[in-house]
């Protein structure tokens, strides 16, 4: 490896001042700093005392929540904290509205200012351009340094590396979980990589001999190499657990092994194999095959997605279109295109030429050109079998995938309730624009929405802690509807734990996860006889149903109170407040059994009424999440 000359220093991520009139959409804002015009209120600030409730009411009405007085500044300015940190994007318009109040002299966002973490790993400075950010002069990197001040990962996160196996490199050996080997016959516990070397003509006529690639170990280092430990390199996530699932070996893999390995990694049953006790939350599939997505594999992907898991896959290295290579062309996966040091498409990557949109496509560093501009990571030493441990620079879409997987795992460290469907949307949405003049910037759809950005993604994960994604299910046998109010509950229903024939309808909505913005608790009740759930944001209804069953017994003719499931607003005179969406309630007796549905649109509501259901109007109002 040829050492690069790189100058690197720790520097602030924002201009180091408390009040910043230029509010970035991705800034994390803890609160606001306000100076009032009234001299008496300024005098209160000088005494470190809060303003009157009357003054605060008009300010709080704009921000939609109770502002918490923190302290005063030396320039007679009050500092107020939000109930939870907000993004610059959601605050820009609100602050402009507040500036128009006649009582306000000056108001600014109290932006979080921080220094970027730079690990002391000796290979980080000269080689790991892909982990650095635009602020440090590395326009092609993922800005992991900008995220590490917020989180360096959590040991509760589990990532499955479905690959050639993973050997216990010192960078992450203590975080490897017991894996499984689906490349051998019969399948066996393990998941390490014995080597995938081949002799000449072993795989096909005229095929040259190849040394072992240590591919899975290289991928894993990008995700999970321990940072700031004075050795080697730094991965994106320094604490996550890795589940090694070996499905690749000499001459590649078979579809059946891929299917079984993917199912097992998700904690789903595989005949003759014990259930995986450590189901993954994210899967890394740094592999690609030519052709359409095999229907059998799409079925497996659908089942895995139904467990709330994110699947990140390689676009492929054939300079073709991603529509011609699987699993990058399978539905529901997040496909990763490789970019170079300059933030443009690499010379080898498959691209999004045919697809008119960028849904489920993102770009991340894969390296190109000089090997010194490749991606450094962990490997085993040995041309055939493992004989030790080292580091190597490699290039490919295989290297792009673990960058995105690592970012997703940082998001889960902040917000473990994020499901795969949310991560699949948030990662592209928080990506950074391609640099001007690049091929990716010139053609909008070619490389996806942008380059994965760790700091932006982690900020989004923080913002989304305020919300709970609600999933609707329908039972094709009983014609019942129910809501799953957490990722875990959704996954359990999909595994059949609520009985057979429950299927996701595709109708989703966001509620609040706490009592913010005036949201009230939604009580959840269950009726065993009808196998039906009922939700009410009306405290009177909640208290009445509980009074009918004071011991909270479980019985066929009683509603059992199961606690607070989420938070929503109450409609006012049959309509929802601004910045909220209506949920319509319909009611029916199906074969003598109580059944409710909470419809997410007026069209669905009217359709249910046309089918004989009783319309009960708007019963709750839920969050609107802007794009």
Q: In the structure encoding, which two tokens stand for residue 54, read together?
A: 């009357």
- Contact residues for 506 (Cβ-Cβ < 8 A; gap 6+): 472
Residue 372 near residue 389, CB atoms below 8 Å: no
How far apart (Å, rounded) are the C-alpha atoms in residues 30 and 70?
Answer: 11
* Residue 171 neighbours by CB under 8 Å, 6+ apart: 221, 224, 225, 226, 231, 232, 233, 235, 378
Number of H-type helices and E-type strands within the chain? 15, 25
Helix axes 454-463, 397-414, angle to 10 degrees: 30
> In this structure, is the dihedral angle defined by the CA atoms of residues 145, 345, 338 and 88, taken in order, positive or negative?
positive
* Interatomic CA distance for residues 266 and 278, integer angstroms: 8
Among the listed residues 110, 163, 181, 453, the single catalytic one is 163
| Cis before 338? omega within 30 | no
**H or E stretch covering 163:** strand 158-163
The sign of the torsion formed by the CA atoms of 94, 99, 105, 106 equals: positive
Determine contact, residues 345/312, Cβ cutoff 8 Å.
no
Say which of 72, 87, 286, 398 is annotated catalytic. 398
Question: Is the separation of the CB atoms in 362 and 454 below 8 Å?
Answer: no
- Cβ pair 160, 263 in contact under 8 A: no
Active-site residue, 570 included: no
Q: 392-411: b or e for each residue (b if 16 or more CB lie within 10 Å)?
A: bbbbbbbbbbbbbbbbbbbb
Is 581 a catalytic site residue?
Answer: no
Tokens of 293: 């997505």
Is 579 known to be catalytic? Answer: no
Burial (Cβ within 10 Å: 0-12, 13-18, ≥19) of residue 113: middle
Given the residues 169, 215, 403, 596, the one annotated as active site = 215
Residue with tokens 């005098």: 43
Residues involved in catalysis? 163, 215, 398
């Amino acid at each position: 490896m040829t050492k690069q000359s790189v100058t690197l220093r720790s520097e602030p991520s924002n201009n180091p001042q408390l009040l910043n009139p230029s509010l970035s959409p991705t800034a994390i804002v803890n609160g606001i700093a306000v100076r009032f015009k009234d001299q008496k209120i300024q005098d209160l600030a000088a005494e470190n005392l809060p303003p009157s409730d009357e003054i605060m009411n008009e300010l709080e009405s704009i921000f939609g929540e109770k502002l918490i007085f923190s302290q005063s500044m030396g320039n007679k300015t009050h500092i107020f904290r939000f109930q939870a940190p907000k993004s610059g994007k959601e605050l820009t318009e609100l602050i402009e509205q507040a500036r128009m109040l006649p009582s306000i002299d000056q108001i600014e966002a109290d932006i979080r200012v921080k220094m970027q973490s730079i690990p002391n790993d000796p290979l980080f400075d000269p080689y790991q351009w892909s982990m650095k950010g635009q602020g440090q002069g590395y326009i092609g990197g993922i800005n992991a340094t900008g995220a590490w001040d917020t989180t360096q990962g959590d040991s509760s996160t589990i990532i499955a590396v479905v690959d050639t196996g993973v050997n216990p490199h010192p960078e992450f050996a203590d975080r490897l979980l017991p894996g499984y080997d689906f490349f051998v016959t019969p399948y066996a516990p393990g998941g390490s990589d014995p080597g995938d070397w081949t002799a000449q003509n072993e795989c096909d006529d005229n095929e040259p001999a190849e040394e072992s690639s240590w591919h899975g170990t290289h991928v894993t280092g990008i995700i999970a190499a321990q940072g700031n430990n004075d050795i080697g390199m730094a991965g994106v996530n320094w604490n996550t657990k890795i589940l090694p699932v070996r499905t690749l070996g000499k001459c590649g893999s078979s579809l059946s092994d891929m299917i079984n390995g993917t199912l097992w990694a998700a904690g789903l049953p595989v005949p003759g194999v014990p259930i995986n006790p450590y189901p993954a939350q994210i899967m890394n599939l740094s592999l690609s095959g030519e052709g359409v997505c095999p229907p059998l594999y799409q079925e497996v992907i659908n089942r895995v997605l139904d467990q709330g898991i994110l699947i990140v896959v390689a676009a492929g290295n054939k300079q073709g279109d991603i529509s011609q290579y699987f699993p990058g062309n399978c539905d529901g996966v997040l496909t990763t295109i490789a970019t170079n040091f300059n933030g443009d498409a690499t010379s080898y990557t498959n691209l999004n030429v045919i697809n008119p949109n960028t849904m489920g496509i993102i770009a991340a560093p894969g390296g190109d050109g000089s090997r010194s501009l490749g991606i450094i990571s962990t490997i085993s030493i040995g041309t055939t079998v493992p004989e030790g441990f080292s580091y190597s620079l490699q290039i490919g879409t295989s290297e792009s995938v673990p960058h995105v997987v690592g970012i997703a795992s940082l998001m889960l460290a902040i917000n473990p309730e994020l499901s795969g469907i949310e991560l699949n949307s948030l990662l592209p949405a928080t990506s950074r624009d391609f640099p001007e003049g690049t091929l990716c910037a010139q053609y909008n759809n070619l490389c996806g929405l942008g380059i994965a950005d760790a700091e932006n993604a982690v900020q989004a994960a923080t913002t989304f802690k305020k919300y709970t994604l609600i999933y609707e299910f329908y039972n094709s046998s009983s014609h019942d509807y129910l809501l799953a109010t957490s990722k875990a509950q959704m996954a359990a229903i999909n595994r059949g734990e609520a009985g057979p024939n429950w299927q996701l309808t595709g109708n989703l909505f966001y509620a609040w996860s706490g009592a913010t913005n005036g949201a009230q608790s939604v009580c959840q009740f269950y009726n065993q006889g009808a196998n039906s759930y009922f939700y009410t944001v009306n405290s009177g209804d909640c208290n009445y149903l509980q009074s009918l069953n004071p011991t909270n017994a479980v019985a066929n003719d009683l509603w059992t109170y199961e606690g607070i499931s989420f938070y929503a607003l109450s409609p006012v005179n049959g309509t929802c407040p601004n910045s909220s969406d209506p949920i319509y309630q319909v009611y029916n007796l199906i074969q003598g059994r109580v059944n409710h549905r909470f419809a997410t649109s007026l069209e669905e509501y009217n359709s249910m009424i046309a089918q004989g259901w009783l319309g009960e109007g708007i019963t709750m109002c839920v969050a609107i999440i802007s794009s």
